[in-house]
């Protein structure tokens, strides 16, 4: 609920604001909290709801009515008993790359081919749509030439509507409260923009493609379960009926670590700052390790730097609970451990390998790993014992850590907890030498 506050000690807030509880007061009915602008005060416990981590994982779907590769007969069985307006979408069996909208109407099922033309989707070559969600939304409001308007989705068994789950767990934000400003990055999935959410500067991934949006929903669901000062924090998710997806995170003013290193260089970033970044990333990874998450894509490009020069790990697109497997075809070869590439064996120890590569990137100020070695030769040469040399100016203690991370036997590599202890020790020795 909205809380206006009754005294100077109170922290006023509006319904939908995101607050962080600092401490439970002596009175269990009141919390001390702070808002995203950093203002602190007391709030009534019964006016707020705790956010839950979204745990539906791969079963979370933006399109629960999409059934993938099923046949015409299977679709008709799923839409039985007949109910006018009951519908599903499947991949076309006769026209690969196209889709079929299957609709129950007056006791029989009609199948409408959805054609992919001019980069858009259409049924009648009159109305064109950016994606399936937009198409379904349109025909849900108006039959527009179909036998009936789409009334009730036939949800694929075991799936959960992403919109409902994000809303239920408290991660759904209101689009009206988000003002988008300028594009700060472009990717295959869409744009990254800087924006304003209720007075707080935010970064926003804007995703418009069905398949990509589905992948990013999985990333956002992982982010709801993670909270650490060195992980980029998710603020919330906006799913629009037309299929647009917005993932809203804290804004990191100094951009990605690899660009930061390349643009500043040795004249700006000293050894103490490099150790500081190394420790920030290690802290985040030790947290993931303790919570049984494997990142699978750790690299300097996936670490962001805040305005006050704190490094935070981001891009959780490949992050999974430690027990699951991954398609190795999409993995960055130069950052991925040999056992993960060869046998799809992922673990915290495969992340440790990547961390060793990231340390090399740090101390070489953003150079690409394995310079001058063709990509196809990297894995065989590494498996034959090849290790990259020590970057100029890199302390021996840090290079030793790198080489331990690159042990071909995952069991011998140090844990992030152990790495953290040793980096802290190196950090303290550096600070003491500066003081002297």
Question: Could you count the other beta carbons within 10 Å of the beta carbon of residue 403?
Answer: 12
Q: Is 144 a catalytic residue?
A: no
Q: Provide the CA 381 distance to its chain's centre, in angstroms.
A: 32
Q: Is 212 exposed, middle or buried (0-12, 13-18, 19+ CB in 10 A)?
A: middle
The answer to whether the annotation marks 118 as part of a ligand binding site is: no
Q: Is 84 exposed, middle or buried (0-12, 13-18, 19+ CB in 10 A)?
A: middle
Q: How many residues does the chain have?
A: 436
The 3-state secondary structure of 333-348, one letter per residue: HHHCCHHHHHHCCCCH
Q: Is 59 exposed, middle or buried (0-12, 13-18, 19+ CB in 10 A)?
A: middle
Contact (CB, 8 A) for 12 and 4? yes
- CB hemisphere CA count around 283 (13 angstroms): 16
**Measured distance CA(260)–CA(212) in Å, rounded:** 27
Contact (CB, 8 A) for 295 and 219? no
| R_g of the chain computed on alpha carbons | 25
User: Which residues have CB under 8 Å from 213's CB, separation 6+?
Assistant: 62, 131, 207, 243, 245
Question: Which helix (H) or strand (E) segment is 350 a member of?
Answer: helix 348-363
Using CA atoms of 137, 141, 145, 149 in order, give the dihedral in degrees to the nearest 10: 90
**Measured distance CA(360)–CA(372) in Å, rounded:** 15
**Measured distance CA(352)–CA(408) in Å, rounded:** 12
The active-site residue out of 27, 297, 308, 315 is 297
Q: Provide the CA 340 distance to its chain's centre, in angstroms.
A: 21
**Measured distance CA(71)–CA(275) in Å, rounded:** 57
- Residue ranges for the known binding site for ATP are 205
- Residue ranges for the known binding site are 205
| Residues involved in catalysis | 297
């Amino acid at each position: 609920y909205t809380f206006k506050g009754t005294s100077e000690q109170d922290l006023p807030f509006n319904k939908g604001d995101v607050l962080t509880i600092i401490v439970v007061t002596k009175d269990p009915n009141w919390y001390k909290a702070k808002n995203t602008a950093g203002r602190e005060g007391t709030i009534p416990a019964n006016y707020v709801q705790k956010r839950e981590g979204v745990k539906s994982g791969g079963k979370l779907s933006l399109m629960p009515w999409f059934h993938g590769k099923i046949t015409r007969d299977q679709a008709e069985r799923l839409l039985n008993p007949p109910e006018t307006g009951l519908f599903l979408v499947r991949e076309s069996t006769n026209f690969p790359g196209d889709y079929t909208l299957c609709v129950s109407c007056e006791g029989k099922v009609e199948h409408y081919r959805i054609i992919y033309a001019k980069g858009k989707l259409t049924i009648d070559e009159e109305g064109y749509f950016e994606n399936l969600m937009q198409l379904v939304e349109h025909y849900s409001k108006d039959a527009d030439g179909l036998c009936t308007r789409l009334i009730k989705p036939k949800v694929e068994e075991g799936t959960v509507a992403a919109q409902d789950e994000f809303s239920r767990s408290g991660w759904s934000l209101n689009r009206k409260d988000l003002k988008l400003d300028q594009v700060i990055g472009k990717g295959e999935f869409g744009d990254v923009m800087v924006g304003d959410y209720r007075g707080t500067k935010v970064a926003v991934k804007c995703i418009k493609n069905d398949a990509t949006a589905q992948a990013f929903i999985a990333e956002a669901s992982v982010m709801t379960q993670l909270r650490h000062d060195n992980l980029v924090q998710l603020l919330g998710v906006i799913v629009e009926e037309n299929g647009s997806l917005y993932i809203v995170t804290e804004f990191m003013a100094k951009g990605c670590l690899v660009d930061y290193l390349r643009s500043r260089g040795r004249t700006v970033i000293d050894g103490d700052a490099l150790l500081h970044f190394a420790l920030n990333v290690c802290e985040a990874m030790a947290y993931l390790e303790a919570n049984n998450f494997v990142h699978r894509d750790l690299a300097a490009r996936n670490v962001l730097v805040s305005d006050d020069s704190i490094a935070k790990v981001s891009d959780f697109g490949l992050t999974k609970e430690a027990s699951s497997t991954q398609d190795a075809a999409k993995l960055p070869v130069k950052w991925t451990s040999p056992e993960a590439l060869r046998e799809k064996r992922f673990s915290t120890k495969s992340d440790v390998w990547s961390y060793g590569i990231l340390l090399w990137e740090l101390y070489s100020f953003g150079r690409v790993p394995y310079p001058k070695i063709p990509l196809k030769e990297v894995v065989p040469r590494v498996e034959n014992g090849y290790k990259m040399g020590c970057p100029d100016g890199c302390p021996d203690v840090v290079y030793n850590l790198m080489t331990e991370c690159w042990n071909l036997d995952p069991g011998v590599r140090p844990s992030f907890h152990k790495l953290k202890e040793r980096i802290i020790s190196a950090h303290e020795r550096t600070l003491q030498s500066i003081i002297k």
